[in-house]
Chain A
Amino acid sequence: AQTVTQSQPEMSVQEAETVTLSCTYDTSESDYYLFWYKQPPSRQMILVIRQEAYKQQNATENRFSVNFQKAAKSFSLKISDSQLGDAAMYFCAYRSYGGATNKLIFGTGTLLAVQP
């Protein structure tokens, strides 16, 4: 069975600085997808960024980028130029490629605080 591990329960960053959130996973599959979701306080969880395992190039979405190391089974999220609105719980998630279901396997989350 696949597992996702986020070893940082809480992180803090100064506004305008850069922060990296860690995520490792375990799988025997060769094709899969990886995601970072963000849940601001009392708001909906939204997709931040996603990565297909067969793509070597790291995904980037504006100030958000990932460092995907397939051999190491690592998928970290880098937030550049942090903003107050980035404060949220961040969840790393895994999804198998194909199959009848689309279920996501989540980590325990990292609570990110942004200091002004």
Chain B
Amino acid sequence: EAGVTQFPSHSVIEKGQTVTLRCDPISGHDNLYWYRRVMGKEIKFLLHFVKESKQDESGMPNNRFLAERTGGTYSTLKVQPAELEDSGVYFCASSHGVQGFSNTIYFGEGSWLTVV
């Protein structure tokens, strides 16, 4: 079974440009999450999809960030325009079904974003 896959693994863009990160969750996982880790700091929650609907987007930092999940399958996270403080690692995660303790959340390897 394929795990959570993220693309690109690394991206270097200039301030003001646009970047789109993609996440493919494990097949059949209704729940999809985006997290971000700024270097040296904690991993912070960005948002949670249940299928194609945004369940919780309380962690999205500002309106330069747009997340979508087309048809409840893969998800994209677009940053437009990118700022220096957006640099960090963006993690995607997925889990199956109704939330419960036993439902493990599976993480991808992360997409490293550097804004210069």
Cα–Cα distance between A42 and B108 once the two chains are bound (Å): 10
Q: How many residues of chain B are within 8 Å of chain A by beta carbon?
A: 27
Taking CB as reference atom, which chain B residue is nearest A43? B109
- Nearest-Cβ distance from residue A11 to partner chain B, whole angstroms: 16
* Also in contact, A47 and B104, with CB within 8 A (given A101-B55, A103-B56): yes
Contact A102 B95 (CB under 8 A): yes
Interface residues of B in 21-37 (CB under 8 A from A): 31, 33, 35
Q: Which listed residue (A47, A50, A52, A107) contacts B42, Cβ 8 A?
A: A107
Q: Which listed residue (B56, B101, B106, B110) contacts A50, Cβ 8 A?
A: B101
CB contacts (< 8 Å) of B95 on chain A: these are 102
Q: Which listed residue (B3, B42, B91, B101) contacts A33, Cβ 8 A?
A: B101
